[in-house]
Structures are given as C-alpha cells and as structure tokens.
Amino acid sequence: MKIRRGDSVVITTGEDAAQAPRRVTQVLDGGRKVVVEGANRVLKHVRRGHPKSPQGGRLNLEMPIDSSNVMLYCGACSRGVRVGYRYSDDGAKERFCRSCSQSLGAVSPAKESRAAKS
C-alpha cells in the first residue's frame, strides 16, 4: 500500500471527508488500515486501572479507517491524488503525484546509501 506513517492524507468518505489534510499516525494490518490524526474519533469508556487512564473514565481515541478511504495529499495540487511509484536517476524509489508528477518523497534510498546503511 502507498500510505506510510507520517503522510498527509485527505479522507474521501464519511464525516471527515473533504477536510484539510491530516497526518497518518499509524499504519495497521499490512497497510490495509490507517489511523489518521483527528479522524474517526470515538469516546471509549474504560474502567479504572486501564494503563492509559488509571482513573477510568473516557478516552478520546482515533480508530483505524480503511486505507482505501484516504488519498495521499499533494501540496502542489492541494488535494488528495492518486500515487505512482518510479525510480529516480540515483536509483532511489519514490512516489509521485499522478496529476502533476511532482515527487511525493523517496520511499527507499538510493542504491549506494542503502548499502552503507545496512
């Protein structure tokens, strides 16, 4: 899947649709689900002793949504866009916007630096 943690995405369905781009805080289930900042919030009621809320009460949580309901945000197009993959000249794999073909950032480093890292 093309969504990664830290990406800016636009939600395409539901009550959070067509709002400003939001950040992906988690990618789950091999990329099929994502947790998006401020989207799909629920109040979860918990008992006392819960690790995140020792006093009990309500937790404001973001629940995962299906990654097919988000689109990667392109700053140049200022909207959610379809994404493709390509290799740049130095061998780095990057994502690009299919509308304006601007790069949306490398997903793996150039061949030389990859060897140096590992």
Residue 74 bridge partners (DSSP): 79
Which of 68, 88, 99, 103 touches Zn ion (CB under 5 A)? Answer: 99
Residue 105: closest CA among 86, 90, 82: 86
What whole-number distance in Å separates Cα of residue 92 and Cα of residue 114?
9
- Angle 101-29-105 (CA atoms, 0-180°, nearest 5)? 25
Which of 17, 76, 87, 108 touches Zn ion (CB under 5 A)? Answer: 76
Q: Which residue has the tokens 């020792």?
A: 54
What whole-number distance in Å separates Cα of residue 44 and Cα of residue 63?
10
Q: Does 97 bind Zn ion (CB under 5 A)?
A: yes
Which of 1, 43, 100, 107 touches Zn ion (CB under 5 A)? Answer: 100
Using CB under 5 A as the criterion, what x/- string covers residues 36-75 for binding Zn ion? --------------------------------------x-
Q: Does 98 bind Zn ion (CB under 5 A)?
A: no
What is the length of the chain?
118
Nearer to Zn ion, 72 or 92 (CB): 72
Binding site for Zn ion (CB under 5 A): 74, 76-77, 97, 99-100
